[in-house]
Structures are given as structure tokens and as C-alpha cells.
Copies of this chain bind each other. A is one copy, B any other.
Amino acid sequence: MERSRRRHRSRGASTIFDVAALAGVSKSTVSNVLRGTGRVSDDTREIVLDAIERLDYRPNTLARQFVRQRTTILGVVVGDLENPFNASLAKLIERNAAGRGYSTMFCDVEGDDGHSLAGMRLLLDQRVAGIILLSHYGRSRDLEATLTAENLPVVFVSEREEWGDSVCIDESGGAVMAVEHLIETGHRDIAYLTIPVLERRTDSARYRGYKAALRKAKLPTRPPFRWDPASGTVRIGHERTQLRQILEDPRRPTAFFASNDLGAVDLLEACDSAGLRVPEDVSIVGFDNVSWAGLKRIGLTTVAQPFLDLAQIGVDLVLARVEGATSAPRHVTIPPELVVRSSTGAPPGIGKRLA
């Protein structure tokens, strides 16, 4: 009777009930076999597995997720999926998660907060098992409140916040590598140039590395050049000026360490249009090694983030917690790598001297 009622289901996929009936056991036993709960005799297991195969049975994920009130979905919150840095990371995260049986649900929280929050709600309503945050641009307050309230595993990738796990490169160490490369190439006047999209904390760490490297070499540091490429304005301390003016000033730095590749390529273009040659007149180092940094026409020397490691460790961290770990937040730091290309070279003075 129960059987006949059930048959008006649209899709004829078999259920745990069918398997139990065919195997001549109870649903509980089938369930135990399915979940590998040990207390099933080998004979019974055989019979059940056989029935499963004969019926081509696959457990209904929706039912399982419902009864467990937890899914095998990972939520990925990302500032801008189109940004090549995020796109590279997103892809690898998806691959890693899929390899471990988890689906990946994305939420692009760029732009206005209303949309972002609505998007986050969708993610939370779907009861994702955990959340991976990529460059969420710091609206961390609300997030923290919401996510800790839900008691959801959270990992920051390429970013660090104390209230969740995190994996990122040694940011200031990477900056040191960048600046030391410039110093070795002969530069003595190096500026740090940063753009608004960069997360504040990341920005400070990179600037810290910049200062450390110069101090170690007993060279002067400059305050950060805060550039808004859209308007062309640069803020240095309390002073405001145009990038153009800086570039046209003969006392300009001979090299720029840009806080990320997007800023670096914008600077590259600004140099081009100011008639400055890179690297003959100005050297530029970027940060991230986004996918187009290696285009020959760009040839950006940059600090590479090991995307594969970031993605893998990020997924590991969040899944460990999803699957039960309850340690204090773990913070993993991995080493960056300098990639030297054609945007750096000896400063003009040295160049002449050598010639």
C-alpha cells in the first residue's frame, strides 16, 4: 500500500526503500551500509551492495542534506570574480572541492552592500557547510557577526582575519623580495605605490616589507603613494598631486613597487604615456602574478602567489572544520616567489655608468 502511493513520483529513480525491499533487509541496514557504519555483517553488506548496483541506486542528496541539516556545498564569497586573481583562485578552489566531493556555490559581493547581503543570505539559506572568503574587501564587521552566529566554518584565502582560519602568503616577506630585487638591480630611490582595491591589512603588510627591506639596506623610505587610477590623483601623506607630475619630476623614484599587479599595469601605462621607458627610465615590480602579467608586452616582474597551494590549503582548512575539527583558528603562511621579467632593470644612472 505504501508502495503504491509512492509510485506517482515523477522520476522513477529508486529509493532506499526499493533497495531494502530487493535486498530483503530494513532501510536502516541499507543506510548503515551506505554510510559505512561498521555494524553490518559481510554477507548482508554483499546483498545490499548488490541490490544497490542492480537498481543503480544513488541516495537522494536533497533528503540526506535535509535530515542532516547540512549540505556538502562550500560557499565561496568573492569580491569580484572577473578579477584575474580571484578567477584563478576560484577555479582551483572549485577543482579541489569537487575532488573531495563538495560542490561550490559562488557569491560575488562586489559593489553595493544590499546586493552583497542578499547574496550572502542565499548562501546561508542553502546551509552551505562552510565558507571560503576571497578578497571580500573588508566589510568584515557584519560578516563576522552573521557567520559566527551561524557557527559556520570560515576560511580566508589570501587574506587574514583572526576570527577564522586563513591561508596566505608571507605578504611582507614577498614585499621584501620585491624591494631587495630592486636594490640588487641598483635602485636607491624606491617608492611604494598602492591602489584602492587592495585590502587594508594586505596593503599595510606589503608596505611594512617595503620599509623593512630599505631599512636593512640603509636606504631611505618614502611614505606610501596612494593612487587612484580613475582620477589620476596621488595622495602622499597629506599632500595631493597627479601621478603625471610625479613621473615628469626628474627627482622621481627610479623604481616603483606597486602593491598589486593591477596597479602595476596601470602605472606601466601611465609611464608609457608620459614617455618614460620601462625599465630604462623607471622600473616596476608588481604583486600577485595574475594571468596576464606574463604576456610579453606586459612582462611584469612580480611577486607570485602560489595559487594552487592557496586553494588547496584553503579547502583543507575549511573541510577539516566541516568534518569536525574544533581547534582554535589556524593561520597558515606560505612563501611567495619572485618572478623576474622585463619591467625591472638598472636605474638610469647605473645604466649610463655601465655604458
Q: Smallest distance from the beta carbon of A67 to chain B beta carbons, Å?
A: 8
- Given A94-B107, A95-B108, A273-B296; 14 other pairs, CB 8 A cutoff: A11-B69, A58-B125, A61-B125, A62-B62, A62-B65, A62-B66, A62-B127, A66-B66, A80-B91, A84-B292, A94-B106, A94-B108, A104-B106, A104-B107
Tell me the complex Cα distance, A108–B99, Å: 11
A269 at the interface (CB under 8 A from B): yes
The interface size of chain A toward B, counting residues with CB under 8 Å, comes to: 52
CB under 8 Å from chain B, chain A span 67-126: 69, 71, 73, 80-82, 84, 87-88, 90-91, 94-95, 98-99, 101-108, 115, 118-119, 122-123, 125-126
B residues within 8 A CB of A297?
Answer: 268-269, 272, 295, 297-298
A14 at the interface (CB under 8 A from B): no
Tell me the complex Cα distance, A268–B88, Å: 24
A63 at the interface (CB under 8 A from B): yes
Pick the residue among B10, B81, B273 that contacts A91 (CB under 8 A).
Answer: B81
Tell me the complex Cα distance, A120–B104, Å: 12
Q: A66-B63, A90-B81, A127-B62 are in contact. Are A122 and B106 (CB under 8 A)?
A: no
A265 at the interface (CB under 8 A from B): yes
Tell me the complex Cα distance, A66–B281, Å: 64
Task: Verify A119–B98 contact, CB threshold 8 A.
Answer: yes
CB under 8 Å from chain B, chain A span 193-241: none
